[in-house]
Amino acid sequence: MAEDGASPSAEMVAGDAATPDSIPACQEGERSCAGDELLVCSGGAPLLVLDCASHAWTCQEGDCVASGQETTTERTWRERLIKLSVENALEPLELDSYGGWSNAPAGLGTPVAGPYFTVQKLGGRWWFVTPEGHLFLSKGVTDVNYLGANLAEDEHHEFLVARYGDEEAWVAASQQRLQLWGYNSVGPWISASMGQVMPHASIILNAGAYAPRYPGFKVTDFWSEGFAQNCSGQAQAQAAPHIEDPFLLGYFLDNELAWEPNWATSLTLLQNYMDFPSDAPGRSVAVQFLQDHAENAAEFNAVWGTALGDLAEVEGLSSAQLAPTTEDTDRLSREFAVVAFTQYATTAVAALKAVDPNHLVLGCRFHTYHWDELVIEAGNHFDVISQAYYWDVPPVEDVDRVSALVDRPFLLEEFSFKAEDSGYLNIMNFAPVVKTQKDRALAYDGYVQSWMSRPYAVAFHWYKWFDNPTRPDNILAGDNFGLLTPADEPYEPLVTLAAEVNRRVEFWHAP
């Protein structure tokens, strides 16, 4: 657990034994140098902000100055690090034992404490609230796992075993690193032991993973008895052990199910359902949906370009005859997806709450921002709406718009940036690619500040702890997703700036 007290990003230069007479008088916010240490005046005393020499800089006239030629990126990174470090020294973040904001200004409102994490809206802004009753924003990382970069018992895991000796020592070191870098939580695909020491949103129930999922990827008949049974079984197996877990933020129902046309087949959910076996409950619903959205066969034919003699013939249509080629057919395809989503969410949430009524439902991890009507419907079922977004900037334009219609907090469950100087090809998985690790750090800074400044944003989870390593059996493998290399070494430009960024998040989010 995080220790009570101020963030470790700043410390007093004067020792505890110093007397008021021995501390030089200074003006609040005034910056100065002590050798190559950058100081800032806070409360009448100088605080250490940065050791300029640790970055091969010198301290001159209250600033860390590069000794040689800098690129634009290097100068921007240096200036941003100094600015955020000074702000964090003057306005330190103090934490409760869960990583909640224990010195939050009283003007933000009074959250209501409970035995488990909740979400509450105070002064028009959403927050998690810790069991100790403090405001909390989930600043997390996925895949913090003792198995290593491949999440497997291979050479990467054996390296961690050799370095740390056992899992307990690795957990302690990983927790220390996370907190040093300003993170207060962990996401999915972690070692279970990490969820015992830090707040976590690590459980994906796979409610929609009932097999067989036909006819394509992640397509389940949400009206089938098998789906309902799977929801109940997964809830019992995965949620029951966590009913009284104070570190659990909540549950994800699934990971990135297909609501829009399938990336591999280009089929809509409506087309998939019409390709189900004739006795599948979901196919009957799809047929009825199509029939209900036309007065007669002539109207149906005009919309879909078919040649039916009677609406009863909808029963015999296949996916090839229901491709959305017009604005009307696209709208109807999306309307059916919302109908299917409603059935999915209603069934899955009820099954989960029957097992664990104590914790939040964090949504189903949309793989991107889909469309407004789907997100609005998600708000009718979930406590928090979660989505990934692997683009240069977060989806603030879309969520700004829809947040006027759905009063729910949003959790950004995956984002990342990769850098060319990592040496990887960076082509196996999608995320923006920048030139250097300092570019990567600046991209992280801009993305997090833009997202977490929004009143609806309660979380961001960086993907991920380790890089995707190269593989001898696949020359294309290798992606620079990690805060760490597969050899457990941090990307210092990234984690150094991220540490200061993460300690500003609560202040950016506050009005």
* pTM of the entire predicted model: 0.93
Q: Are 282 and 276 in contact (CB under 8 A)?
A: yes
Backbone angles phi, psi at 485, to 5 degrees: -70, 165
**Count of alpha carbons within 13 Å of 480, Cβ hemisphere only?**
23
Six token digits for residue 117: 């994490």
Please state the three-class secondary structure of 61-104 as a single string: CCCEEECCCCCHHHHHHHHHHHHHHHHHHHCCCEECCCCCECCC
- Count of positions (residues) in the chain: 511
- Confidence at residue 475, expressed as pLDDT on a 0 to 100 scale: 86
Sequence-distant (6+) residues with CB within 8 A of 146 are 157, 160, 167, 170, 171, 191, 193
pLDDT value at position 129? 99
For 194-232, the DSSP string reads: GGGTS-B---B--TT--S---SSTT---TTSHHHHHHHH
Hey, what CATH topology would domain 119-258+361-509 get?
TIM Barrel (3.20.20)
Structure token digits, residue 330: 């696209």
Task: Name, in order, each residue with C-beta under 8 angstroms of 476's C-beta and a sequence gap of 6 or more.
Answer: 425, 427, 428
368: left (phi over 0), alpha (psi -120 to 50) or beta: beta
Closest CA to 484 of 180, 237, 226, 264: 180
Question: How far from the centroid of its chain's Cα atoms is residue 238's Cα?
Answer: 21
Closest CA to 365 of 415, 417, 431, 406: 415
147 Cβ contact list (under 8 Å, min separation 6): 153, 156, 157, 191
Q: What is the pLDDT along the chain (511 residues), one digit of tens a residue?
A: 444 444 444 433 333 333 445 545 799 999 999 999 999 999 899 999 999 999 999 999 999 999 899 999 999 999 999 999 999 999 999 999 999 999 999 999 999 999 999 999 999 999 999 999 999 999 999 999 999 999 999 999 999 999 999 999 999 999 999 999 999 999 999 999 999 999 999 999 999 977 655 444 568 999 999 999 999 999 999 999 999 999 999 999 999 998 998 777 889 999 999 999 999 999 999 999 999 999 999 999 999 999 999 999 999 999 999 999 999 999 999 999 999 999 999 999 999 999 999 999 999 999 999 999 999 999 999 999 999 999 999 999 999 999 999 999 999 999 999 999 999 999 988 899 999 999 999 999 999 999 999 999 999 999 999 999 998 888 899 999 999 999 999 999 999 999 999 999 999 999 8
DSSP 4: S
The CA-to-CA distance between both ends of the chain, in Å, stands at 28
C-alpha to C-alpha distance for 292 and 284, rounded to whole angstroms: 12
**How many angstroms separate the CA atoms of 242 and 239, rounded?**
5
Specify the pLDDT at position 11: 38
Domain spans of the chain, in order of start: 5-92, 119-258+361-509
Distance of CA 437 to the CA centre of its chain: 21
Question: Could you tell me the CA-to-CA distances from 462 to 55, 86, 459, 502 in Å, in that order?
Answer: 25, 25, 10, 12
**439: helix, coil or strand?**
helix
State residue 212's pLDDT score: 53
| 469 contacts 478 by C-beta, under 8 angstroms | yes
β-partners of residue 32 are 39
Which tokens sit at 270? 């409506």
Running DSSP on this structure, what letter comes out for residue 305? -
Helix (H) or strand (E) holding 365: none
User: CB count, 10 Å around CB of 21?
Assistant: 6
**Which structure tokens are listed for 461?**
């989870």
Closest CA to 443 of 420, 466, 459: 420
How many C-beta neighbours within 10 Å does residue 440 have? 28
For 349, residues 6+ apart whose C-beta sits below 8 A from its C-beta are 253, 361, 381, 382
2 secondary structure, DSSP code: P
